[in-house]
Amino acid sequence: MTNVLITGATAGIGAEFARQVAARGDDVVLVARNVERLEEFGRELTDRYRIRAEILAADLTNRDDLARVEERLSDPMRPIDILFNNAGFGHTESFVGGDIDVEQELLDVLVTAVLRLTHAALPGMVVRGRGGVVNNSSVASFIAGGTYSAAKAWVRVFSESLHGPMAAKGVTVMALCPGYTHTEFHDRAGINKSAVQDWMWLDAPLVVSEALKDFSRGKAVSIPGAQYKALATAATYLPRPLVRRIGLASQK
């Protein structure tokens, strides 16, 4: 029996990840802030897939809450086989003149939580010689697109740096780099979705199914969607001044 812990588990890619691993028979530990949504989603998964759904309410910007998730991940009596660091949010504020506390919260969730939870999960996986971590980065990690882009670049490089050493021990660490995906994320962030061309949108089921396939193959980076594979490759090889201009356009 595989046990999967998912942060940001009640919406978007996190919820779809939970559904797909539950559908194959994995038990899940669902982490999010809203207790009511956690309980409702846990019942949905349990009733539909007959798996065990444990809920853990936590605000990852709160160090005490974060510590509780770390403790759950490092508990040798209840081992976690796969950690999906998915929790995150975005915003549309300008850095200059914007709320610095919002920027700090962004880094707390996208960087600090990923760092600490991965650190808590890996030792047990190494001892068992199996399992792994999926860190939700973004194709935005390939451009210069503000604090969000910078944080996601950290997630990708962090995951890539762990991939080789952990693979030698039987553990997979992978960065998932989705593009625009139909979820609640953009509405919450106040992003104008009408400005995004139709061909750029992905559906969460496709993102997750490709991610799970790539994880099973031991990949270091998963980029769902042919259009985003092409865009990420272009951003890797284009001159950086051009990439910066693309990033500037993405922030308008």
The Cα–Cα gap between 162 and 114 comes to 13
**Residue whose structure tokens are 């001159």:** 239
In three-state form (DSSP H/G/I as H, E/B as E, the rest C), the secondary structure along 15-67 is HHHHHHHHHCCCEEEEEECCHHHHHHHHHHHHHHHCCCEEEEECCCCCHHHHH
Choice among 148, 180, 228, 237 that is catalytic: 148
- The residues near 159 (Cβ < 8 Å, ≥ 6 apart) are 133, 135, 137, 173, 174, 175, 220, 221
Is 148 an annotated catalytic residue?
yes
Q: Are 220 and 165 in contact (CB under 8 A)?
A: no
CA angle centred on 216, ends 125 and 208, rounded to 5°: 105
Q: Could you tell me how many residues make up the chain? A: 252
Q: Which residues are catalytic?
A: 148
